[in-house]
Structure formats: structure tokens, C-alpha cells
Amino acid sequence: MKRLSQQVSGISDRKQLEQSLRHANDTLEEQVAERTEELSTTVTRLQQEITERKRVEAALTESEYFFKESQRAASIGSYRCDFAGGMWESSEVLDTIFGIDKGYNRSIQGWLDVIHPDDRQMMDQFLREEVISKRNPFSKEYRVVRKNDGDTRWVLGLGKVTFDDDNHSALTMIGTIQDITERKLAEEALLLTRFSIDCFSDGVFWLAPDARIVDVNKAACLSLGYTKEELLHLTVPDLDPLYNADVWKQFFISLRQHGSLKFETVHTTKGGIRFPVEIAASHVQFDSVERICGIVRNITERKKAEEDKLALEQQLQQTQKLESLGVLAGGIAHDFNNILAIIMGYCSLIKMDYEAAENNIPEIEKAVERAAALCRQMLAYAGKASFENIQVDMCMVVTEMSKMLQSTIAQNVVIKTDISADIPWVIGDASQIRQVVMNLIINAAEAIGDAQGEVRVSLSKIVLNKDGAEKDYLGKIIPHGCYACLEVTDTGSGMSDETYNRIFEPFYTTKFYGRGLGMSAVLGIIKTHNGALQLSTELGKGTTFKIFLPVQISDCTREEPQHVASVHWQGSGTILLVEDEVHILLVARTMLEALGFTVIEASNGKEGLELFQKNAADIKLVVTDMGMPVMDGYQLFSELKSLRPDLPIIISSGFGDTVVESRIASEDIAGSISKPYSFDRLRDVLKMVIEGIQKHT
């Protein structure tokens, strides 16, 4: 039993043991599971850390790559300088900037050796006094000399110094160095350009397309009285009183097309003073930015000089015209004596036989017309007569001028003429054409000098075809058509190359003084008449001028000018006639009465004014002379117009039209009749004025 009891007890203990073992096993399994989970978590975390580290390392590698590439692209190198150890480290880019390799001396002295000799002392002083002593960041532009090729480069050094715990000794400095050579060269070029522009005596403006001022030089500020800051707040309209927005737009479009333009305008100073300027503008494109560069020159002095020159030229021209009158005086006196002899002779014939008056009077009238033409010519030369285009008989002009000048030029010179009979009429101003003929003949005679010689004057009709064979003295083709050709040839000394090239310059002369209007005036008159000029000369053999004046008749044949047959016309009413010359007064009164008018006559302007005031209601129009005593015609004209503005007044004067019109507006003059005048001419003027009055009433 005891043994059984022991066995039962043993079984019970075994069960407990098994139970304990099972419990322990369960506990162990739980612990293993927990530990396995912990290990799994740790492994996962470690795997994540490894992945993150690889990612960070890759990002760091990529960042380092981009950093190096950025440094290389920007030409920026980095460095670390150990003051305690006396050594320095540099990046690959910095080595490239310095032109050194990995084996270069990396001591502090090695760094200093790279710095340009002229900058070493400055850099050493700057580092000690400004950076280390004052604890300032390192920032300095200086030069280095590349070790591999000796090239000088500009660099910008930036850095920061660290100090020991006591803040006394400098330990290290880290920073960057950038190659700024290109920028420094650009700054230097810009500085030189700015300096050069500021040295200009002319103003320089940079403008935006909307007319804003974006930059100016010193001269622009000085010329306008503004500071640069003030000008940069202004626009073109603030300076140019002639500015127009639409014109500005067209100007900018044209400037963009052509690249540059030159024009004149007006500028206004800060004080409101206007002055003329000449502007040379250029269009400039900076990528997408457009600018206008304008160089502005004050042309006040030039304008004044031009005005003075014009006044001097006019004065000189007037003097030369008077000189030409002196040259012509002998010939004109000779011609007038001939005309007077004709008049006197025919008057004597009439006295001898009154029945022959009908045949003799027309000859007297022709002689009077010749005398009147001479007077008009003299007035034209003196600038006292206006020019008018009429049918000009070239044969008559050349013949008369040749005869007249033969008596004025030196006796050793003979004028020979060869004038065709079929020369068509030329439309032009007879006085101007006479000037051309006179100048050519006189110049030809003077070219002969004291030697025996001749001037050959020929006039012919020439038809130019379209083949362009004939060219003027400049080599331009003379248009095809029919011309009256005047040719003047002398046997003189001919022209040198200088004279040939300058013969048509205003006031150029080979004499001690000029005569007439000169060859420049001859050329101007020919151009005015749409003509052409040829010039040929040879030293020692003489000179030939050929003048081509176009004719206006389509078939290039000579036709007599058409005269309108006189029409019998009668007027009526009262006319106030004011004339101080008794005989002219008598003739004019008789003509007016023959035309059906009642005449009230006065011998001067004062008397005429008094008679008008007494008979104003009856007077239909006034015919007045201009040069009179007591009160001249100009004052009388003004007084009469103030009393009756619509009063028709006919001017009868022996002065040129230019003189009268310089003092009285042409539109205020009802009509004009130059002395001497015929009955038909007086009738035509009166008819025109009265019919004009009737038309407007």
C-alpha cells in the first residue's frame, strides 16, 4: 500500500511537473513570440533606417554634385583656411580659378603668392585690420595671377572667421571665391563709355518707346538746367513744345524701320527758354527692350550764323546787282539814246507830214515799249520788280543783249552772233533770261583778258531724242524734247580743274570782286526754267557754255504770240485821279474821259484825300500814283481804305511791283498798271476792275 501510495504520490507530482512544464512552455512561447515581434520591429526599423540613410546619402551626393556644378557654372570656388596650422584647402573650381593643381603649395604663403603683387599688401592689411581685428565678414574684390598661364583675373572673396573660446585668436576662415573678370571688364567698359558720353558737348538722351527719359549725360543736364534726377522723371513732351503724340508714333515706327534719323525741333529749358536743336536719333534693341538714343545739339549759333549768312548773301547779291547796273550803265545809256533818237525822229516826221502820223506813231510806240523794257530790266536787276512768266522771244533777247554789251566790254573783244530765224518762243521771265545772257557774255569777255579775242554767241533750235546721249555738266541725262539752245564760246584762257569744279558755287570768283549774280545765279535761273547747262573748257583754248531752255510749243515751230483783238468798251461814273506829274495827269485824264468816265484830278495825296472826302458818294474808284510830294500814294491808300474799306484802288507806278507789294498786300489792290502804259492797257485794267466790282455786287 505504501508503495502504491508512493506511486500515486509520484503520479501526482508528475502531473504537477507536466503542468508546470506546460505552463513554462506556454510562458516561453509567449516570450519567444514577443521577442520575435520585437526583433521583427527592430529589423524593420533598421531596414527603414538603412533605406533612409541611403536616400540621404544619395540626396547628399546629388546635392554635392549640383553644388559643385553650380560652383563650376558660376565660377565660384570654396575654401577653408586653418590659421593655426598655416594651411588651406580649396575646391576643384577654386583650383581652376587660381590655375593650380592638387600638388600646389597649400600654405598661407602659397595663397598670398596667387594674389596679384599690387594687391598683396592691401589684402594683408584688409584681412588683419578689418576682418580679424574688427570681426567683420570677409568681402573683397581683388586680382589674382593664374599660376598655369599668368593671366590676371578679378575675383570676389567672401568668408567668415572663427575664433577660439577666448575670442582672441583666429582659428579658421571658410568662404567662397568667385571669378568676376567678365563683370569687371563690362563695368570698366561701361565706366569708360559713361565717361566718354559725359565728355560730349552735345546732350545724349536715352528714351523709352513711350517717350519717357531713362538716362541722360551731363551735357543734357547743363543745356536744359535740370539735374539728372529731375530729367529722369520727365518725358519728351516736357522738353519739346512741338511734341505731338501721333507724330511721335509715326516717328518711332520710321526710326525702327530705318535705324537712324536726323531732324530739327525745339527744346525748352527749366527756366522756359526755347532754343533750336538738331537731333540724331538711333533705334537700339536690348533683347526685348527697345530704346531710342538721341544726340541733341544746340544749333542756336548755327541758326544765327545761317541767318547772318543769308542776310550777308542778300546784301552781297544786292551789291552785285548794283555792280551789274554799273557794268550795263554805258550800254543802257547808249540804247536809251538810240530809242530817244527814234522817238525824236518819228516826231519830226509827223511834224513834217501829219498825214503820215498813222504810219509813224506805231514806230514811236515800239520805241517806248523798248524803253519800258529797259526800265523793267534795270528794276529786275536791282530787285525792285517781280518776275512773271511770259512768251519770250529768245532771238530778240540775245540780239539786244549782244548789241548792248558790245559797247560796254573791252574793245579788244568782239562779239559775233549766229542766230537762227526759226527759234520757238520760250515761256519764262524775260528779265531773268537777260541776266543769263548778260553774265555769260561778260564772263566770256573777261576770260579773254587784254588779248585780242572774240565771244561767239549762237542761238539754235535743238530736238533731243530719247536715246539720252545729251547730258548736263553733272552727267545727268537731259530730258528729250525741243529746246532753244544758247551757246556762248570764248577764246580765253580756259578753266583750271579747281575753277571747273567750283564755278557754280555761290560767290565763288576768280576775280578780286564779283559781278552780276555770278554763275550760281545763272544755274539757278536755268533750273527755274526747267532747262539744262553744259560746260566744256580747256586750258589755253577757251570755254563754252551751252544753255538748253525748253520750248512750250508742241510742234517745235515758231509761232507769233496770240494777241486778243481790242474790244470797244466804255465805262461810266466818277474816277479820282491822283498824279503829281502834270503831263501824265493830262494824258491819263484824257484817256479816262475818252472811256466815258468823269474825272476828278489831284496833284498829290493830301489834295486827293480832301477831294475824296468832299465827293465820296460820287467816286466809283481811284487811280493813284505812289511817289508824290506832301502825301505819297502809300499813305493815301491807307487813309482811303480806312474811310471806305471796299473802295477799289488802282495803283499806277513807275516803281517795280515788288516795292509796292512789300508795303501793300496784293489782295488789297484792285488793279495795277505800270508806267508807261497805253490806252489799250489802261482800258483793259479798268474793264477788269469794274467787271469784278459788278460781279460781287
Domain boundaries of the chain, sorted by first residue? 1-73, 75-185, 200-298, 389-561, 574-695
**Sign of the CA dihedral running 650, 654, 658, 661:** negative
Supply the pLDDT for residue 500.
79
Q: Report the CATH fold assignment for 574-695.
A: Rossmann fold (3.40.50)
Q: Provide DSSP, 47-67.
A: HHHHHHHHHHHHHHHHHHHHH
Count the neighbouring beta carbons within 10 Å of the beta carbon of residue 608. Answer: 27
Q: Report the CATH fold assignment for 75-185.
A: Beta-Lactamase (3.30.450)
Of all helices (H) and strands (E), which one includes residue 522?
A: helix 518-528
Instruction: Return the CATH superfamily for domain 389-561.
Output: Histidine kinase-like ATPase, C-terminal domain (3.30.565.10)
- Asked whether the bond before 479 is cis by omega within 30 degrees of 0, the reply is no
Structure confidence by residue, pLDDT tens digits, 498-512 = 777 777 765 556 654
Supply the pLDDT for residue 565.
42
β-strand partners of 107:
87
Supply the pLDDT for residue 640.
92
Rounded Cα distance, 133 and 130, in Å: 6
CATH architecture of 200-298: 2-Layer Sandwich (3.30)
How far is C-alpha 492 from the chain's CA centre? 43
Low-confidence ranges of the chain (pLDDT < 50): 67, 512-517, 555, 560-566
Supply the pLDDT for residue 370.
72
Rounded Cα distance, 414 and 436, in Å: 19
Supply the pLDDT for residue 574.
93
Rounded Cα distance, 281 and 10, in Å: 126
- Are the beta carbons of 187 and 154 closer than 8 angstroms? no
Structure confidence by residue, pLDDT tens digits, 221-243 = 999 999 989 999 999 999 999 88
Q: Quick check: do 75-185 and 200-298 share a fold?
A: yes
Supply the pLDDT for residue 9.
61
Supply the pLDDT for residue 267.
93
Supply the pLDDT for residue 45.
77
Of all helices (H) and strands (E), which one includes residue 363?
A: helix 357-381
- Are the beta carbons of 548 and 572 closer than 8 angstroms? no
Supply the pLDDT for residue 204.
87
Supply the pLDDT for residue 564.
43
Query: Minimal CA–CA distance to 625: which of 645, 639, 604?
Result: 604
